[in-house]
Amino acid sequence: MFVKIKGTGSCLPEKVLDNFEISQLVDTNDEWIQSRTGIKSRHIAREETAVSMAAKAAKRALEDAQVAAEEIDFLIVSSVSSEQLLPCTACSVQKEIGAVNAAAFDLNAACSGFIVAYQMAAGQIKAGLSKKALLIGVECLSNIVNWEDRGTCILFGDGAGAAVVSADEDGNIDGRGNIEIPSVLHSDGSRGEVLTCQNPTGKRADGSLKGYVAMDGREIYKFAARQVPVVVKEILEKAGKSVEEVDLFVLHQANRRIVEAIAKRLKQPIEKFPMDMMQNGNMSSASIPVLLDELKKAGKLQPGMKIVVAGFGAGLTWGGMYLEW
């Protein structure tokens, strides 16, 4: 018995903000942004909220999985930018979709959020505490971006991605009869200062409100380019697979340069590393599930494909898992 993704769904805001519009807000231009990040545009919530986007993505994932909302018994929402603290976003989504039998809660692991949610659901299923889980990554990062900071406002977008996961009776069992879930998680709080966002309700000494994302982009690049290849090899060792056997590496969509650096260190062709940050930007918790949904809709995820999913972000946190589609 092994956890398998049964269905996916996503929701992106209607408003598209391209690099030319960004250049009206800060001193930058399309060429500068694309050459450093690979990003051409991003979706920005106007009428949409974290709850409304998460609920739409969830309904689409349930439909894709052919699972009724009432069958879900474990619902997790990963977000760092929801408009509400209480009730938690997950409980509001539960209400919207009618998942009346689900235990629901939020988690905060930033760009690694979907990875953490998957592992929590996998643990519940392995322990026999849950049968079907609904995982959602949703962000309204436009709420916490400083639109006067060229270093951060060019990067982020809003959106939601969801996945239904359940036990797979044909999954991995080791030689001792134990259920194998090839996944890993790591954290290093001593380096958390490289990517921060204070509580928006707090005030600085000068009286101004806190709440904007602040990031040391150079350090994040070095961290991701070094640690993600290591964690990919760690995942594959658990799965008993080689890097050459992997069909796709589905990574957090932070920056094209980071993905290219990871591919180079793993000595794998860039074609194995699908990317959508060009039109979606960095959606933190939503990046991986949205990309999975886009790949599935495009027919690029076929039964039996070997996939490594990996994320990295604030905390610092990083990790991933091995999937067979």
Residues annotated as catalytic are 111, 252, 282
Q: Closest Cα to residue 168, out of 106, 121, 136, 135?
A: 121
Q: Read out DSSP for 196-236?
A: EE--TT-B-TTS-B---EEE-HHHHHHHHHHHHHHHHHHHH
> Is there a contact between 7 and 65 (Cβ–Cβ < 8 Å)?
yes
Report the C-alpha gap between 325 and 315 in whole angstroms. 30
List residues bridging with 255 in a β-sheet.
none
Residue 16: alpha-carbon gap to chain centroid: 20
Tokens of 108: 């905060």
Q: Closest Cα to residue 57, out of 251, 297, 302?
A: 297
